[in-house]
Amino acid sequence: MVLLDDKEARIVAQAKAVEYMGTAGVLLEAFLRQALDFGGLEAAIENLSRVIWLSPDVVFEILRRAREARG
């Protein structure tokens, strides 16, 4: 598993069959493992989006999955 946010790096990883996850995915995983509460996840995603570009679709999907997981 490798941590990649760069689109071109993801394309190379996919071509070489290397499993990858982006930073937003790592934050979701931290939430699912209860290392972050929902508010912490929202704040972390907001802070991350100030540093790197996050697609609104990615943000929506991360928060949707978190809401579903917390029930």
pLDDT in tens, 21-65: 999 999 999 999 999 999 999 999 999 999 999 999 999 999 999
Strands in 1-71 per DSSP E: 2-3, 20-21
Please give the structure tokens belonging to residue 9: 């790096």
The pLDDT value recorded for residue 23 is 96
Measured distance between the N- and C-terminal CA atoms of the chain, rounded to whole angstroms:
28
- pTM of the model as a whole: 0.88
Spatial separation of the C-alpha atoms in residues 63 and 43, rounded to whole Å: 11
Note down the domain range covering 62: 2-70
Which residues, in sequence order, are bridge partners of residue 20? Answer: 2
Q: What single-letter DSSP state applies at residue 37?
A: -
Centroid of chain to Cα 27 = 5
What is the count of structural domains for the chain?
A: 1
pLDDT tens-digit series, residues 1-24? 999 999 999 999 999 999 999 999
